[in-house]
Structure 1
Amino acid sequence: MATERSAKRRRLSPPGDSVPGFATWNLEQDYEQRQRKGKKKEGERLLVKKADGWKEDERLKEVARLEAEAAKDDSDQASEADEQDSGVADLEAPATTAQPDVPVKEQIRQAKEDLARIAGHISESPEENIAQLGQLAEIARSHNVTVKKLALGTQLAVYKDIIPGYRIRPLSKEDQTAKVGKEVRRLRTFEQTLLAGYKDYISHLTKLAQDKTMRPVAITCATNLLISVPHFNNRNEIMALLVKQISFRNLSPETTKCCEALSQLFREDDQGHASLEAVTQMTKMMKTKNYHVHENVLNTFLHLRLLSEFAHKAGTNSIDRAPVGDEEDVKKPPKKKDREYRSKRERKVMKERKAVAKELQEADAVVSYEDRDKSQAETLKLVFVAYFRILKARKSHLMGAVLEGLARYAHLINQDFFGDVLEVLKDLILEAEAALEPTEDDMDVDATEEEEEDELDAATERNITRERLLCIITAFALLQGQHDVVKSVNTLQLDLNFFITHLYRTLLPLALNADIELSSKSAHLADPNGLATPAQQTQGKETKVNVATTTVLLLKSLQSVLLPPQNTKMVPPMRVAAFVKQLHTLALQLPAKSAAAVLALIHAVGKTHGNKVAALWNTEERKQDGVFDARGLEVEGSNPFAATVWEGEILRHHWDPKVRDGVKGVDGVIRGVLGGGEGREGPSIPVRR
């Protein structure tokens, strides 16, 4: 029996609008706006005969213009309705803005809700809602300053959350036309949309950085991006924004924030690529500005990790070793009874695989080391070029930062440039001495002008004194960092006695300096409890050189002369005795903290050179005839062994207990050298009460 075929039914659409925005379509209006075949163009209208010939009718021309404007308005309204009813989010779709009659507080409240909702959607599913970044960008362009700041902060948090751990490669024309799978197309759409939004965000921050009101927020967002995602695209644009902010001579909060961000980037950069890009832009900026920048800009170079082979994170002075407890937590090999059984062939294959994996790992490490060393070598070259150009230009406000940088990277300076650097330091000291000498014009001034010049000379002398001490510290730091140079000093004909003699001449004037415990940056000591001891200075625990107090600079210079770490025994006795005698005289005039620090240095010198200076405490024996010349210009010509250290008896009655303890410590060391405490002490000097 044949089955009866059922009647074919027409397929009906489900109730309701299946297409978004279908209810707002106006088919008749679209048909009316469609261009007719017989519609005449603007130049084909009928002409009207007038007195001067056939002309186009002005009334018809005006009517045609009005019709065209009306058609354009209708098409704009239709397109806006389509965009509002479409369910697809667009990157550049305009967000709903507050009406002008809405109060400001209500606008801020609505903006907070919108920002929280959009940020939540993007964080929950970045690949699906990545197009909503356009809505955040539109809110960030609001006229309300508070809303704009909130939107910038929200964009910063969203980008830090969704940016991947790799750099996105822009698609080429071949990649765009190539056929790919659904997952690859989805990933490419996410990456390119993220990259476009991120680039627009950085360009917006660059524009806002020029506005005084929005500059702090823009700089904060830029510094956070540079520290959080330095590996991502558009890194050069962020660096250019920060470098532009630090190109001014005056120090502002934004400049300080940018310098701190660059310093942190230098410390955390393991590969060296980001550091090379930043240093390149900074050196170009300083050269363009003729080095009229703040010294904090140069101080950022001190945080670079240059040419150091390390397995752990390390700086230029120390290596962060793994904690001791980590060695105990290493997994021990299993016992023989617990090992998994493998045949001889399996063990052979596994051994070969381990060897291949080890070779691949070493190859990758070699490539990484070579790439990093290349980047760091270029960075070091740029830094030294900037330092030497500043020295050549004699930029006085940058001398402290430059000299400290040279001292920090002394072990990286080529031996061929070593003599030239010392000659430049020598010229700086001679120029500083010449600046302190009075000229003929200074003699022919009135009394009022003389008082004003005395105040100026006092300030100038303080700066010049610091500059001279910095030159001495840098010269000896260069020698300590160069082992080969120390052995070949005579071959290079380096005049190091010049720096020692100049330091000896500086001691007595420094005793009368009222600002010896003041730094160049603040009016108080950095350490309220006291100054850094020589042992702490040797371990690198002191503050930076160019911001240290004058006392700390003096102690570092004396330590380099009297306690060199490499050839301590080669210091002549005449030099040690002359400095020890002058330091006791200096301690009588210095403030309590500085006097205690000087006595601590003498105590360290006594432990090392006790046999060389013990005669200064012995009144019964004299190794040399004549008179001690405290104001002599030469160290060896001062005849120190013709004098005794009588200042210690006065310092025993000092009001500060730390100074009294320092004197007792020095006497104890000398008594141990002279015979274990049973021998002779210094002369007893009566003190008038």
Structure 2
Amino acid sequence: MVAKSKLANKQRFKKVAKKSAKTNANAKKPKRLPKTTKTKDKSNKTSTPVIQKQPEIDNGEDMLDMVDEDDLQFLKSAINNKQYSMFNNVRVPGGKGKKKKIQKDDDTLENNYENEIDEQPKIKVKALLPIKTKQGIVKREVEHEDNSEEEEEDAGVEENEDKGDDDVSSDEEDSPAENTDVDVSQPITPAQLLLQRAEILQKKKLHIGTLSSGLLENPEEKITNFRTLIKLLDDETPEVYITIRKLGIVALLEVFKDLLPSYQIKAQETDGVKLKKDTLKLQKYETSLLQYYKKYLQKLEKFAGVLYKKRGDNRVRTQGEKNVGEVAVHAMCDLLITHPYFNFAPNLVQAIVPFLNNVNRNVRILVATALKTVFKEDKKEEITLKIIRVINHYLKSHSHNVNPEMLEILLSLRIKDVNLDQDKEIEIKGKKLNAHKANILAKLSKKEKKRKKRLQALEHELLETKAEENKQTKLKNLTEITKFLFGIYFRILKSSTNTKVLSVTLEGLAKFAHCINLEFYVDIVNVLDKLLAEDWLGYKEKLHCIQTVFAILSGQGEALNLDPTRFYVNLYAGMLDIHAGRNEKDFAVLLRTIMIGIIQRRKKITNKRIIGFAKRLVMLSLQSLHGGAVGSLGVVKNILQLCKAADVLLDVDNECGDGKFNAELDDPEYCNASSTALYELSLLSRHYHPIVGKYAVNIAKGVPATGEGSLLPIYGKCTPEELYSMFDMSEMAFNPSIPVPKKVQVSNKVKRHAFVDCEFRQKCFKRLKCTNGTYFMHI
């Protein structure tokens, strides 16, 4: 039975092979038969092929025998009408744009099916929700193109972006011009170039925004997005690379400002130590963040280096590159302000400080503003000390030939509470306390001594909880800052001849004179006295010299045996050099110097000197703008309030004085100002500015606090410096607004003036009689 079955199968397979050979005679590539293995037949001793798998060359003939003709017609019509979605997803083998050759033998179902697939357009039918109407249910369908491959590619790009891999879409973004439809053979219009640039820029913006938002949402998982953003800074697309670099710098700046911690990230050795998964994850994140931050700072320093022209570098920088450099400097300044205690803060200081001497004024102002902000917000004074050290080194290497902005920022230092003589004072107090302590301990019993030790231990612990160590560290840093500061100032005083730098130095000495060590007071005063005798020194610099001397003598220098008369004479002699036409801006320095030298030291100078300065201030107010006039009258008002001897200036009787007033004498001690009166107040009372007139009337009536002639509290309580800044004309605006003057008819009659001294009248005026009978007067 077994042999008969084998023989029947053999004959059956032969018939199948013959039929398949006939049907596939015209095929392009005939299908190969499955591999066969040779087996030995024991009865016939011949090898027969044994089929291991079901043959795939049947072409559905056995299945067609089982299908009825009605069902077969139904299937054909369903395929032609595309009624089943399962047939829509079948793709043509061989890729896009390649069609199979249609077989001539269309008798089988498989050939008809393949032909239908070849002719089928790449359009998908998507079934929508049906609508129920009065006529019944209406089915809805939407045809759309088959973009399955493009959707798969887009999904792959998004997935790689989420993982932080930027290699997927880099080729497309780096060469967007290749995908445009611009005909290279035809000339391109400016409108097409602008449109192309806008499209490229929009893609880059979206890419930068996506990466940045991903970092802010989940920084630990998407930390590698930093790599893509930093690579964008090296973009070389000719149309948009300047804008892309600016956008990349600003985007990374905002991300780092939000993500950087307030503490320093330190490298920890974990060899042989088992850590938790969360700890390892945090360490890996912090290490990666620090590495990307370092790369970002290196890029910023590279871009900012364009603003400096080194020796031998003859490259011409475009304005766009310079703008990128300014943005890079701005980013470094913002990072230093936001995270002054994070890693690489000293490196930021080292890179920023040289820009205080840059040619570009906007860059200098930007860096100076940032460093002033750091000085104000620095609580530990560590970064401030680092900035002062870098400035000190830069000044030494450039022989103090720098822009004044580098020294102006030092005026914002907060070192008013520093006392360089504190160490000596502490030693003296310590010796006294130790002697007193030894006397007390000698009288204590053993129990009391033990109790004393326990109390001391408890006080030490309490000091640690109150962060006394931080206070001591801060005080130590302040002391170092003060030493570097005065070292800079003293070197400039001895060697520099740059008037702008010297002016700022003298202003700084005047502001921080109370912090100078007593041992240097005499030497500083002598140096300033020699400077006043120099011809190349300007009036503002002289005022700063005098202000510094008065500041020294008003503080700890009161114990010094110095005669400041020569400085008072210099100040009095140069007061009338200020007028509205040339150097009105120096009025603030003059007022500050007079307040220190006259008002604060009024008890150590004579009444004659005070009266002489009051008279000259009123004379000065006649040749100044209303801001300077109000400031001068404010000083006179304070003098009349604090010095009763100055009331003699309100008396018009000349018999009470020692002699005649000599306005040309430069010494206030011997000009006999007490023999005159404040006649200028009559002119100032009719001043074009109403506040000047009110101050003149108030002084003329004896400075009353209430009643007639009194001032409003808003003006009466202001200092002279505040009055000057309040009514300053630097912005070319009146405060308050000035009323329009009334029209006055000028009479032709000559007003005769009465002079007490005839010689003075002949010296000042010459009368010339004109042809029409009027008089013309020359000064």
> TM-score per shorter chain, which class?
0.5 to 0.7
Alpha-carbon spacing, 1:644–1:183, altered in 2? closer, same or farther (3 Å): closer
How far off is 1:284 after superposition?
1.0
Say whether residues 1:479 and 2:515 are aligned partners: no
How far off is 1:304 after superposition?
2.0
Alignment correspondent of 2:491: 389
Say whether residues 1:223 and 2:295 are aligned partners: no
Say whether residues 1:604 and 2:638 are aligned partners: yes
Q: How does 1:343-358 map to 2 (within 5 A)?
A: none
Say whether residues 1:424 and 2:527 are aligned partners: yes
* Alpha-carbon separation, structure 2, partners of 1:111 and 1:87: 14
Say whether residues 1:372 and 2:474 are aligned partners: yes
Q: Is the 8 A contact 2:416 2:512 kept in 1?
A: no
Alignment correspondent of 2:311: none
Which of 201, 210, 224 matches 1:108? 201
Say whether residues 1:570 and 2:604 are aligned partners: yes
Q: Is the 8 A contact 1:93 1:134 kept in 2?
A: no
Alignment correspondent of 2:297: 202
* Alpha-carbon separation, structure 1, partners of 2:375 and 2:161: 46
Q: Is the 8 A contact 1:649 1:685 kept in 2?
A: no
| Alignment-mate amino acid for residue 551 of structure 2 | A
How far off is 1:183 after superposition?
1.9
Larger RCO (CA under 8 A, 6+ residues apart): 1
Say whether residues 1:160 and 2:257 are aligned partners: yes
| Alignment-mate amino acid for residue 259 of structure 1 | A
Which of 162, 174, 177 matches 1:98? 174
* Alpha-carbon separation, structure 2, partners of 1:227 and 1:505: 46
How far off is 1:190 after superposition?
0.5
Provide the alpha-carbon RMSD of the alignment. Answer: 3.4
Q: How does 1:22-421 map to 2 (within 5 A)?
A: 96=170, 97-99=173-175, 100-102=177-179, 103-143=196-236, 144-171=241-268, 174-175=269-270, 178-211=273-306, 212-248=322-358, 250-306=359-415, 308=417, 359-360=461-462, 362-363=464-465, 365-392=467-494, 393-421=496-524
Alpha-carbon spacing, 1:510–1:112, altered in 2? closer, same or farther (3 Å): closer
Secondary structure (helix, strand or coil) at the match of 1:246 reads helix
Q: Is the 8 A contact 2:160 2:166 kept in 1?
A: no
How far off is 1:90 after superposition?
6.9
Alignment correspondent of 2:762: none
* Alpha-carbon separation, structure 2, partners of 1:377 and 1:123: 41
Secondary structure (helix, strand or coil) at the match of 2:178 reads coil
Alpha-carbon spacing, 1:307–1:377, altered in 2? closer, same or farther (3 Å): farther
Q: Show CA shifts across 1:632-657 (max 9, x none).
A: 24332223333344333444454544
Q: Is the 8 A contact 2:233 2:245 kept in 1?
A: yes
* Alpha-carbon separation, structure 1, partners of 2:642 and 2:513: 26
Alpha-carbon spacing, 1:179–1:562, altered in 2? closer, same or farther (3 Å): same
Alpha-carbon spacing, 1:653–1:229, altered in 2? closer, same or farther (3 Å): closer
TM-score relative to the length of structure 1? 0.64
Alignment correspondent of 2:628: 594
* Alpha-carbon separation, structure 2, partners of 1:252 and 1:509: 31
* Alpha-carbon separation, structure 2, partners of 1:118 and 1:371: 42
Which of 607, 615, 623 matches 2:648? 615
Q: Is the 8 A contact 2:572 2:668 kept in 1?
A: yes
Q: Is the 8 A contact 2:510 2:551 kept in 1?
A: yes
Secondary structure (helix, strand or coil) at the match of 1:101 reads helix
How far off is 1:407 after superposition?
2.0
Alignment correspondent of 1:496: 564
Q: Is the 8 A contact 2:163 2:221 kept in 1?
A: no
Q: Show CA shifts across 1:267-317 (max 9, x none).
A: 1000011111111112211221222222122121122233649xxxxxxxx
Q: Show CA shifts across 1:219-238 (max 9, x none).
A: 12111111111121111221
| Alignment-mate amino acid for residue 230 of structure 1 | P
* Alpha-carbon separation, structure 1, partners of 2:617 and 2:370: 43
Alignment correspondent of 1:556: 592
* Alpha-carbon separation, structure 2, partners of 1:649 and 1:299: 42
Which of 648, 671, 674 matches 1:638? 671
* Alpha-carbon separation, structure 2, partners of 1:656 and 1:140: 58
* Alpha-carbon separation, structure 1, partners of 2:164 and 2:688: 79
Which of 672, 675, 680 matches 1:647? 680
Q: Is the 8 A contact 1:94 1:135 kept in 2?
A: no
How far off is 1:256 after superposition?
1.1
Q: How many residues were matched structurally?
A: 482
| Alignment-mate amino acid for residue 504 of structure 1 | Y
* Alpha-carbon separation, structure 1, partners of 2:625 and 2:213: 62
Alpha-carbon spacing, 1:186–1:645, altered in 2? closer, same or farther (3 Å): closer
* Alpha-carbon separation, structure 1, partners of 2:683 and 2:253: 65
* Alpha-carbon separation, structure 2, partners of 1:305 and 1:580: 34
| Alignment-mate amino acid for residue 219 of structure 1 | V
| Alignment-mate amino acid for residue 512 of structure 2 | Y
Q: Show CA shifts across 1:490-517 (max 9, x none).
A: 2xxx231111111111134435x62242
Q: Is the 8 A contact 1:271 1:372 kept in 2?
A: yes
| Alignment-mate amino acid for residue 343 of structure 2 | N
| Alignment-mate amino acid for residue 500 of structure 2 | H
How far off is 1:265 after superposition?
0.7
* Alpha-carbon separation, structure 1, partners of 2:168 and 2:517: 60
How far off is 1:356 after superposition?
7.1
| Alignment-mate amino acid for residue 477 of structure 2 | S
Q: Show CA shifts across 1:115-151 (max 9, x none).
A: 2222222222222221222121112221122222222
Q: Show CA shifts across 1:555-607 (max 9, x none).
A: 2222223211xx53333111122222333333343344433332222122111
| Alignment-mate amino acid for residue 137 of structure 1 | I
Report the identity percentage: 26
| Alignment-mate amino acid for residue 546 of structure 2 | I
| Alignment-mate amino acid for residue 476 of structure 2 | K
How far off is 1:93 after superposition?
6.5
* Alpha-carbon separation, structure 2, partners of 1:94 and 1:364: 56
Q: Show CA shifts across 1:374-415 (max 9, x none).
A: 112111111111111111123211123212211222221111
* Alpha-carbon separation, structure 2, partners of 1:368 and 1:356: 19
* Alpha-carbon separation, structure 1, partners of 2:664 and 2:633: 21
Alignment correspondent of 1:34: none
Alignment correspondent of 1:335: none
Say whether residues 1:581 and 2:611 are aligned partners: no
How far off is 1:623 after superposition?
4.3
Q: Show CA shifts across 1:190-244 (max 9, x none).
A: 1111111000000011101123241022112111111111121111221122112
| Alignment-mate amino acid for residue 165 of structure 1 | S
* Alpha-carbon separation, structure 1, partners of 2:653 and 2:327: 75
| Alignment-mate amino acid for residue 402 of structure 1 | T
| Alignment-mate amino acid for residue 373 of structure 1 | L
Alignment correspondent of 2:726: none
Q: Is the 8 A contact 1:583 1:598 kept in 2?
A: yes
* Alpha-carbon separation, structure 1, partners of 2:498 and 2:262: 42
Secondary structure (helix, strand or coil) at the match of 1:636 reads coil
* Alpha-carbon separation, structure 2, partners of 1:600 and 1:499: 23
* Alpha-carbon separation, structure 2, partners of 1:152 and 1:123: 16
How far off is 1:363 after superposition?
4.5
* Alpha-carbon separation, structure 2, partners of 1:175 and 1:109: 46
Q: Is the 8 A contact 1:650 1:685 kept in 2?
A: no
* Alpha-carbon separation, structure 2, partners of 1:465 and 1:223: 36
Quick check: which has more Rg, 1 or 2?
2
